[in-house]
A and B are shown apart, each in its own frame.
Chain A
Amino acid sequence: MTDSAKPKFAMYWAGGCGGCEIAVLNVHEKILDVDANFDVVFWPVAMDAKTRDVEAMADGEILLTLFDGGIRTSENEEMAHLLRRKSKILVAFGSCACEGGIPGLANLSSPHTLLDTVYHTITTDNDNGVQPQHKWQAPEGELRLPAFYPLLKTLDQVVQVDYYMPGCPPESTQIAAVIELVIQVLHGQATLPPSGAAIGAGHSTVCDECPRTRNVKSIHQFVRIQDLDHVDPQICLLEQGIPCNGPATRDGCGALCPKAGAQCIGCYGPAEGVIDYGARLMSAFASVIDSNDPEEIERILDGIPDPTGQFYRFNLSKSLLRAGKPAWERK
């Protein structure tokens, strides 16, 4: 039921996997606090959703909108503009909205290559080279699809963003804490962080919350995790040669992956103050290599099988590499 006395809340899922939405649902009972304190006006995955109702709202009428997923299609961008206009506070929620996420790796390919690949796989029977069309005249009438953009963009590359909540997905405990904070703000018991801040995350690196013990300068070579006979459960993964992204990655997840014996893959994005994630990670790797010989350092770094993926796995869309131009146009 609409209760106009309560501030309005919205959540929207654009070009992403929906894991962010599942993470919000995984706060379980905390969802009831959202319901008690907000009038949930638009949240397609959890309730009936009404784009037309959003369109009919006054500008700024929604207090808080969580926006997850990147901007992959014209439809995603239209919704970003609409929700920006209607929301006082717009949060880029999760890796894809913040920095492009895994789907942002598509920016390494031209859209033509991408479509050619998808519609000519080994199982695709497509001798005539059929591809989806933005507009197509069916015998009975015209059918339209949203345009597939040349690049996957982050939310803040199409609209102004107030806060960034990193993570793929953001951890449910962090989501619960943010919900609690906003409710306190509503009751005058807390104040909002400065505009543009990362919320629901720490101000350091994953290493700071990782229980594994570290020394310094101990890497002689990088190894791939499946090639290790034994991974020591107590020692830093990076020092065992596994290319762990912890040193460049923002904390807030609780170091879940390293605790489970898997390297950090960087889903919480760049640590506080880092402009380019890949550059920071590269220098972090270089600093733990046990050598002062530039050639040897280079040889050791060559042991990373996929530098692009290693250094820009979640943030290619947002990185300096992307630099506003498609990669395939710059070569």
Chain B
Amino acid sequence: MVTQRISIDPITRLEGHGKIEIFLDEHGEVANSYFQIPELRGFERFCVGRPVEEMPLLTNRICGVCPEAHHMAAAKAADAVYHVEPPPTAKKLRELLYSAFFCADHATHFYALGGPDFIMGPDAPVAERNILGVIHKVGLEIGSKVIQCRKFGHAIIEMIGGRKVHPCTSIPGGLTKGISEEQRSEIERMGRWLVEFGQFSLKLFDDIVLGNQEYVDLIFSDLYAHRTYSIGLVDENDKVNFYDGKVRVVDPEGTSIGKYAPAEYTDWIAEHVEPWTYLKFPYLKKIGWKGFVDGKDSGVYMATPLSRLNAAEGMATPRAQEEYERFFDTLGGKPVHQRLATHWARLIELLYAAERVVELATDPEITSPHVHTLPAEKPTEGVGIVEAPRGTLTHHYVTDERGILTKVNLIVGTTNNYAPISMSINKAARGLIHQGTVITEGLLNRIEMAFRPYDPCLGCATHSFPGQMPLQVTIRDMRGEVIQVIRREND
């Protein structure tokens, strides 16, 4: 019998912000929890009838936080629809833009969203547990470095993509333009700075997090662990890649169960529907949907920075590879299931992305004006996959012979993680709320910490910049009478 309900609701309840409902039984223990997504826009439907070359522009508008990811997945799917291979320079420029985007996005998450829990500590006063607190603790120059990283990232995105938000230059077969030598040298300069910034960030993580036994214990705590499958895009050497390759799937023991090319994704991924949320729950089709449970028999998987490191055999750049080895050495080998380690994995990816910016900016082909291949075949069907910062992003288009869309399927970054996020919240709630528990603000944060590593961007939304998802918990009795209200505020 359920006696109490706890609603964790961002006070704003904006578009796609998650809402958590926790039900308590008559013993005051958690009976169940539901993580609801209250938003839907329906791109799969209203993109039908549009010309396929518009998809890199239309699907940008799925998410203003990661439009670059949709732009790239859409461009690759459109290439596939036309059976056209962009020239090497076009592919490299797209990856260059994309790597710069990863630097800016990962830095934003680490310093503003996820990092404050560690840098300030999970029990630090709310007013300090945000980017401003980080700046006070680590020094003012860190704030300007983070802004610089975002500025450099967006400058590179605009140089190649034409705009800072919602890039516009990718078309079927390549790009509308290349870059000049002057731009190239500017990008190289920014890339070298970004590499230093990536190393600086990892050093910071070392000093503050790994140097503190309390935090290390927290990372290893069972409260924040789930043994699920991991997936991630890899190159031909099974190294992490954000722009191209095949998706590798490893089981909870770390054994690869296979790799799929974009066109094979329907053999591997299926989605489950629940009546209490607008978002679907993807799972591994070969394993099957067994509900919100982990383990080898459950098709639940994660697609995050942590899963990408688990699913790959290493990083393709030297400094990131060193960090990759240190990561698994420190955490006891592959795979790592401690969700809080995702923050560390994200910084390793940041360093990789920065190194990749430099590699691509110094590639002799990068300033070639040959950036477009004319499509020669009739458009039919195509799938494009990239790694978005928040998970594997799949766009699947079917067109008529004029290249007008007749079917669209999208499996978006964070959506991959909907089931594991729900499970993480459930586990944290069960572990933290017991009979007689006084629901405090600190407890809320520890529940929130369960989903923050996934950097959820549900319905392309829940980004909340200075690291606070404002919460209000209302505890009601069975008649709906309010027993207790706890609010977390910055003021």
Binary per-residue interface labels of chain A (167-186) against chain B in the complex, 1 for a CB within 8 Å, 0 otherwise: 01100100000000000000
In the complex with contacts A18-B64, A168-B61, A117-B44 CB distance below 8 A: yes
Contact yes or no, A224 B53, CB < 8 A: yes
Fill in one digit per residue for A114-142: 1 if any B CB lies within 8 Å of its CB, else 0.
11011101111110001111001011110
Q: Are A226 and B53 in contact (CB under 8 A)?
A: yes
A261 at the interface (CB under 8 A from B): yes
A325 interface residue (CB < 8 Å to B): no
Tell me if B404 is interfacial: C-beta within 8 Å of chain A: yes
B interface, size bucket: 35 or more
Question: What would 15 A/B residue contacts be, using CB atoms closer than 8 Å?
Answer: A18-B64, A18-B460, A19-B65, A25-B465, A47-B465, A49-B10, A49-B470, A73-B39, A122-B396, A124-B280, A130-B273, A132-B274, A138-B32, A257-B162, A260-B176
Bound together, the chains give a CA A114 to CA B47 distance in angstroms of 11
Give the secondary structure class of B's interface.
loop
In the complex, per-residue mask of B33-60: 1 if CB is within 8 Å of any chain A CB, else 0: 0101011111011111111011001101
- CA of A57 to CA of B107, assembled, Å: 36
Chain B residues, Cβ within 8 Å of A20 = 64
> B60, B276, B402: which contacts A145 (Cβ < 8 A)?
B276
B176, B271, B411: the one within 8 Å of A231 (CB): B176
Q: Tell me whether B5 and A122 are in contact (CB under 8 A).
A: no
Minimal Cβ-Cβ distance residue in B for A124:
B271
Residue B253 lies at the interface, judged by CB distance under 8 Å to chain A = no
CA A4 to CA B32, docked complex, whole Å: 43
Give a binary string over B350-375; 1 marks a CB under 8 Å from any A CB, 0 the rest.
00000000000000000000001011
Taking a contact as CB atoms under 8 Å apart, the answer to whether B40 and A260 are in contact is no
Establish whether residues A224 and B39, one from each chain, have CB atoms under 8 Å apart when the complex forms: no
List A contacts of B161 (CB < 8 A).
Answer: 260
For the complex, is A28 an interface residue (Cβ under 8 Å from B)? yes
- Check: A225 CB closer than 8 A to any chain B CB: yes
Expressed in whole angstroms, the minimum distance between the Cβ of B285 and any Cβ of chain A is 8
Interface centre among B165, B270, B409, B490 (most CB of A within 10 A): B165
- What 1/0 flags go to B150-182 for Cβ under 8 Å of A? 110010000001111110110111001100000
Most chain A CB within 10 A, of B54, B61, B162, is at B61
Known: A109-B45, A260-B163. Contact between A145 and B14, CB under 8 A? no
Q: In the complex the two chains form, what is the Cα distance from A139 to B25 in whole Å? A: 12
Contact in complex: A26, B154 (CB < 8 Å) = yes
CB-CB under 8 A from A227, the residues of chain B are 374-375
Would you give the 0/1 interface string for A142-185, flagging 1 where the beta carbon is closer than 8 Å to chain B?
01011010000000000000000000110010000000000000
Known: A48-B468, A123-B270, A138-B32. A226 touches B46 (CB 8 A): no
Is B403 located at the chain interface by the 8 A CB criterion?
yes
The one of B36, B46, B147, B169 that contacts A105, using a Cβ cutoff of 8 Å: B46
- Does A256 touch B at the CB level, under 8 Å? yes
In the complex, are the beta carbons of B271 and A123 less than 8 A apart?
yes
Check B135 for interface membership: any CB of A closer than 8 A: no
Residue in chain B with minimal CB distance to A29: B147
Greatest chain A CB density within 10 A among B15, B54, B265 is at B15
A262 touches B162 (CB 8 A): yes
Knowing A13-B14, A114-B46, A123-B271, the reply to whether A132 touches B276 (Cβ < 8 A) is yes
Decide if B61 touches A102 in the complex (CB within 8 Å). yes
Structural contact, B375 and A145, CB atoms closer than 8 A: no
Let me know if A226 and B375 touch, CB within 8 A: yes
Q: Is B255 an interface residue (CB 8 A)?
A: no
Provide the residues of chain A in CB contact with B222, threshold 8 Å.
none
> In the complex the two chains form, is B278's CB within 8 Å of A132's CB?
yes
Beyond the given A138-B34, A267-B166, please list 4 additional residue pairs across the A-B interface where CB-CB is below 8 A. A47-B465, A47-B466, A105-B47, A309-B50
**Identity of the chain B residue whose Cβ is nearest the Cβ of A146 in the assembled complex:** B38
B374 touches A229 (CB 8 A): yes
Which A residues touch B61, using CB under 8 A?
Answer: 16-17, 19, 101-103, 168
Is the beta-carbon distance between B23 and A50 smaller than 8 angstroms?
no
- Alpha-carbon distance between A104 and B64 when the two chains are bound, in angstroms: 16
Instruction: Report if A148-B40 is in contact (Cβ < 8 Å); known contacts: A2-B491, A123-B271, A123-B411.
Output: yes
B443: Cβ under 8 A from any A Cβ: no
Contact A122 B165, beta carbon cutoff 8 Å: no
Complexed CA–CA distance, A298 and B198 (Å): 57
Report which of A47, A140, A145, A168 forms a contact with B32, defined as CB distance below 8 A.
A140
Cβ of A78 to closest chain B Cβ, rounded Å: 9
Chain B residue with the shortest CB-CB distance to A50 = B11
B488 at interface by CB-CB < 8 Å: yes
Could you tell me the distance between the alpha carbons of A72 and B32 in the complex, rounded to whole angstroms?
29
The verdict on B145 contacting chain A, using a C-beta distance below 8 Å, is no
B residues in contact with A133, CB < 8 Å: 275-276
Q: Check B64 against A261 for contact (C-beta < 8 Å).
A: no
Q: Which of A33-73 contact B (CB under 8 A)?
A: 44-52, 69, 72-73
Q: Bound state CA distance, A275 and B322, in angstroms?
A: 60
- The yes or no answer to B282 lying at the interface (CB within 8 A) is yes
Most-contacted residue by chain B among A21, A114, A125 (CB, 10 A): A125
The A293-308 residues at the B interface (CB cut-off 8 A) are 305-306, 308
Interface membership of A113, Cβ < 8 A: yes
Give CA–CA (A267, B167) in the complex, Å: 13
Interfacial chain B residues near A139, Cβ < 8 Å: 32
Digit string of B251-278 for contact with A (CB within 8 Å is 1, else 0)? 0000000000000011001111111111
